[in-house]
Amino acid sequence: MVARYLMEQGYEIVPINPGQRQILGQPCFKSLLDLPFEVDMANLFLNPKRVPRVVDQAIEKGIPIIWMQLGVIHNDSARRAREAGIQVIMNKCVKVEHQRMMISGSL
């Protein structure tokens, strides 16, 4: 699981899932708009049809990076996010990329 891996690497995970109360021992928030603090990145594991709403929330919250996992592709939303000054990574796994960077010494 990607979230567990990131936690093991020392990253703080803040789950957003309206259908869950807790994931990996962390409390879930219903949406990005419900976060009472700033986050560095929104890592999207969701159906691409739901991406526009989440990107709108990320723009509103001023989240600097949106990472869309493997298979999560929404070009219009990516364009809107970039126009709002947000860095967008799309159709890549954050765990795979982190491991690659660790091996290459980029981190």
Domains and CATH numbers, the chain: 2-104 (3.40.50.720)
Residue 84 is encoded by which pair of tokens? 């709002």
C-beta of residue 33 within 8 angstroms of C-beta of residue 57: yes
Digit-by-digit pLDDT tens for the chain (107 residues) are 899 999 999 999 999 999 999 999 999 999 999 999 999 999 999 999 999 999 999 999 999 999 999 999 999 999 999 999 999 999 999 999 999 998 988 87
Global pTM reads 0.91
Residue 10 is encoded by which pair of tokens? 């020392």
Task: Return the SS3 of 70.
Answer: coil
